[in-house]
Amino acid sequence: MKFLYVLAILAVFSSCDDSSEINTCGDGVTDPSEECDLTTQETCQSLGYVTGNVTCGTDCKLIVNCQGRCGNGDLDDGEECDGTIMPETLCSDLDDEYVSGNLSCNSECKFDTGECLTAGCGNGVVDGIEACDGTNLDGKDCSDYGFSAGTLSCSNCQAVTDECYHVFETLKAGAGHMCALDFNGHAWCWGNNEYGQIGDGTITTDRTVPTAVAMPEDVTFVQIAPGGAHTCALDNNQKIWCWGANNMGQVGNGEGGSGEVSLEPTLIAPLDDADFLSVSSGAFHSCGVMTTGGVLCWGGNGQKQISNFSGGFAVTPYQIPGISTSVIVEAGGYFNISTNPSGSMIGWGQNTRGQLGLETPTTVITPNPIMLGNVDIISCGGFHTCIIDTNSLAACWGDNSFGQLGSGLTTPVFSYMPVELDLPSGVTITTIEAGGESHTCALTDDFRIMCWGDNEYGQLGDGYTDDRLSPTFINQEMGLQFISVAPASRSTCTLDSSGHAWCWGDNEFGQLGINSVSPSLVPVQVIMPR
């Protein structure tokens, strides 16, 4: 019996195994049936969330207080990005340190900057904030920085424009100052500035190099017309601006009188807010052709250059009677000639030297037809006029005291009839300019310049100071091609085919543009503005 009792006890104990162990929540041991016990190793991030906290409840169940799930395509709290949802799309938006590269979003919804690049000046690659890198100018040249010529360079990955400069599209001459327009429509003047005719806001200080005119805001000029001591220009909106001497109303703004000047471009006060096609300036007056075909003039009227205007000068533009189809008006010293579409001429003002092409009278008050044929090109000087007619004949009339009519003679001293130029055989001129007080110049079909007349100051450019009675070639460098010419009172300027200006003759006011007042008997290159 004792043996059987022992076997029974052993059988009871041998029937117990691990599956019958008792789980106790709160003992700090996470049993298989428990999610946690007192503490947990789980975090919001390990559960796929972004922020928040995970704790263990008294029932050994996880208490999840988490927000945001990376990858759900929503920008949840704590996420910088989520898949293609990118608040910032550029590396440089994320940090100024970056200049280029690809910004992306990683699997944890954080920005991945692994492909973002910082600036590397000197690596030959133009990175974000760099304008250039070494010899790599990023395909740019001086024109991209507002200049029209020169050589762009690079320093510290920034563009250097020290060797860039402006060249000119057009150039015109006043009495003792020159003005030009660059290819951006900005005006530059140099020479005499006694009355502020340079237009840079200063007075009395002459300018020996091209100086920027104080351009009106949001305006460019398409034509410029220097006069005796004033300058006018036509803008891209068909309005006219003038500056300089205003003692005779040359500025045309309703003011004027002794000592009056305008140091910067001033809008004229045209009749009925007229629009203009062109402008031309004389010694003390200017005229403009309106889009309607009429002509307005203002300024000095001592020789009736303002026609039948009753006063000694007009401070606002006055409409010239009898003209309704003008396409060109040319202002001479104290007279004007207008042409219509067919090339017929009509003139008024001073005629003491026959400059209007009329035998009488010496002063023409109302516009008078000039019966000298039809013209393609006309240019009025101080006291003479030159034309190229519709048959390509070049001729001049008016004062001939210095041979400026180009006939080969100084007789007659003046002529109201056209005098044909004494051109060398085989020479053809394409344009003619009588703008000089007593000399004339022309451009030939092979881009050479000829001048004749008064040469006291070397204004004919042939290396001498002897007057020339016939057209004479200037001292022009071999291979240099000129495209325009502008005679002043005692000097002359021209433009070459690359837009560089050249001048010669008197230089009392710095009108040669060479940063000195030394005269020259031959063309010298103007210092182009930078």
Chain position carrying tokens 């543009």: 513
How high is the pLDDT of residue 37? 87
pTM above 0.75, yes or no: yes
Backbone angles phi, psi at 272, to 5 degrees: 55, 35
**Neighbouring C-alpha atoms within 13 Å toward the C-beta of 368:** 23
Which of 357, 378, 383 has the alpha carbon at shortest distance from 431? 378
Residue 99: the pLDDT is: 67
Residue (of 523, 525, 505) closest to 515 by Cα position: 525
Strands 111-118, 98-105: pairing is antiparallel
Distance CA 13, CA 11 (A): 6
CA angle 235, 431, 423 (to 5 degrees): 160
Distance of alpha carbon 191 from alpha carbon 188, whole angstroms: 11
- What's the Cα-to-Cα distance from 285 to each of 247, 267, 303, 369, rounded to whole Å? 11, 15, 11, 21
Rounded (5°) CA angle 131-136-141: 70
pLDDT averaged per 10 residues in sequence order, the chain, 530 residues: 36 39 78 86 80 88 83 83 85 74 86 76 86 95 95 94 97 99 98 99 98 97 99 99 99 97 97 96 99 99 98 98 98 99 98 97 97 97 98 97 97 96 98 95 99 98 98 97 98 98 99 99 98
Greatest Cα-to-Cα distance within the chain, rounded to the nearest angstrom? 174
**Cis bond leading into 361, ω under 30°?**
yes
Return the ∠ at Cα 351 (arms to 350 and 355), rounded to 5°: 110
Amino acid at 425: S
The domains of the chain are located at 119-165, 372-530
What CA–CA distance (Å, rounded) separates 433 from 257?
Answer: 31
Give the CA count within 13 Å in the CB-facing half-sphere of 267: 14
First-to-last CA distance in the chain? 128
Burial of 4 (0-12, 13-18, 19+ CB in 10 A): exposed
- Report the C-alpha gap between 259 and 504 in whole angstroms: 31
Domain 372-530, CATH = 2.130.10.30
pLDDT at 102: 79
Q: What does the alpha-carbon distance between residue 236 and residue 238 come to, in Å, rounded to a whole number?
A: 6
Write the pLDDT tens digit of every residue in 274-331. 999 999 999 999 999 999 999 999 999 999 999 999 999 999 999 999 999 999 999 9
User: Quick check: bond before 487 cis, omega within 30?
Assistant: no
The predicted-structure confidence for 13-53, as pLDDT tens digits, reads as follows 333 344 445 678 988 888 888 888 888 888 888 877 767 88
